[in-house]
Amino acid sequence: MSSRKEIQNSISRLETKIQMEKARLSEHRHYFDRLLNNKYLLIASLVPVFLAGWHEARIVKPGKSKFKRFVRFILMTTLAHVRNSNLLKSK
């Protein structure tokens, strides 16, 4: 019997996690839909990030994977900027 109760508890915990992830996914979809619908905000967010990444990539010492490091830096900087910007959060 205890095994059955453990399985039921495990299933209920998993269902709770699934519901939380669905809610989070819905929130993220809404956020990116708003971002993509507002082209000026998207451009205003990405241009400074791109310029900063381009400048940093020029400073980096030459190596084998210069382009790869540049792309990686751009993506990480963009992601950090989008996470920290409060422009799109609903009020």
Which segments of the chain does DSSP mark as H helices, in order? Answer: 2-37, 39-59, 66-84
pLDDT tens string 33-58: 887 888 887 788 788 888 887 777 77
What are the structure tokens assigned to 44, written together?
A: 């205003």
CA angle 70, 77, 34 (to 5 degrees): 125
d(CA 53, CA 85): 17
Mean pLDDT value across residues 12-34: 91
pTM beyond 0.75: the answer is no
Residue pair 67/13 in contact (Cβ under 8 Å)? The answer is no
Give the pLDDT band (50/70/90) at residue 20: very high
